[in-house]
Amino acid sequence: MRLDKFLADMGFGSRKEVKGFIKKGLVQVNGVVVKSDKFQVAETSDQVIFEGEQITYQKDFYYLLNKPQGVISATQDNHEETVLDLFADEDYREDLFPVGRLDKDTEGLLLITNDGLLSHQLLSPKKHVEKEYYAHVSGVMTDEDVKAFDEGLVISGDEQTLPAKLTIVSVDEAMSTSKISLVLHEGKFHQVKRMVAAVGKEVTYLKRVRMGNLYLPEDIQLGSYRQLTEEELKALRGE
C-alpha cells in the first residue's frame, strides 16, 4: 500500500495533506524517515510512525450508536442533522455509513461501519436477521394482536409482512396505553408503526434495542457511540 494512502486511511488528512506531511519528513517507516508518498508499506507488518506516534493500521471500523430522535440515518444532508454529524472529528471518516436506517423520530441501536460486506449480510432479505424494538402504544394491545402478528399482517399499501413476535410488556387500561416488544425478520419502511396501525393502534415512542446478536448497552447515552468490542463483532457475525 502507498504510504500516503496508509496515512489517509488512518484519518491523518486527505491524500494531498498527507503528501505534504511526508515531504516534510514527519513520517518514519521501520525507523527510517521516508519522504516519498509513493513508498510502499506492508500495512500489518511495517512500523509506521507519524510525528512520534506509532500507527496501527485498521481497515474496517465498527461503531455502535445510540441514535436520538431528530437525527436522520444518512451520511450527509443539507438541511437535517445526520448520524455522522454526531461523530467527533477524530473518529469521522468519509467511508462510514449507517447499516440500514431508523426513522427520524426513532431512537436506539444503529451500527455505523465502512464494511460493505457485513452490511449486506445484515440487511439481505435472505438472511432474515432479527431486529428487536421496544415501543409505547396508544391503545390496548391484546392476545388477538399477538396472534395476528405471529401470522403476519397485511399493512398499508397492501404489503404482506412476515410473522413477527409481539410481546406485551404492560398495559394501562385506564390510560388506554401499552408497552410492547417486537421482533422483526425484515425491514419494511415504517414497519413497526404500520403493523401496529394495522391492528388499530398507534406507536407513540419507538426504540431499537437489538440487531441480530448485537444489543444496545444500557451505558451508552442517547447521541453517544463507541467502537464495537471483539466479542460484539463476533456475535454480530454469528461466530
The DSSP code for 68 is: P
Q: Is 85 among the residues known to form the active site?
A: no
Candidates 4, 9, 37, 103; catalytic one = 103
Residues 6+ apart with CB under 8 A from 219: none
Q: Which residues contact 192 (CB under 8 A, 6 or more apart)?
A: 133, 135, 182, 184, 203, 206
Residue 17 bridge partners (DSSP): none
Alpha-carbon gap, residue 195 to 202, rounded angstroms: 9
What does residue 231 show for φ and ψ, rounded to 5 degrees? -65, -45
Q: Half-sphere exposure (CA, 13 Å, Cβ side) for 217? A: 14
Contact 181, 207 (CB under 8 A): no
Residues with Cβ within 8 Å of residue 43, at least 6 apart in sequence: 1, 6, 57, 59
Phi and psi at 23, nearest 5°, equal -65, -25
Place of cell 436522520: 72
Gap between the Cα atoms of 6 and 52, Å rounded: 16
For residue 127, what is its C-alpha cell?
Answer: 438472511
Q: Which residues are catalytic?
A: 103
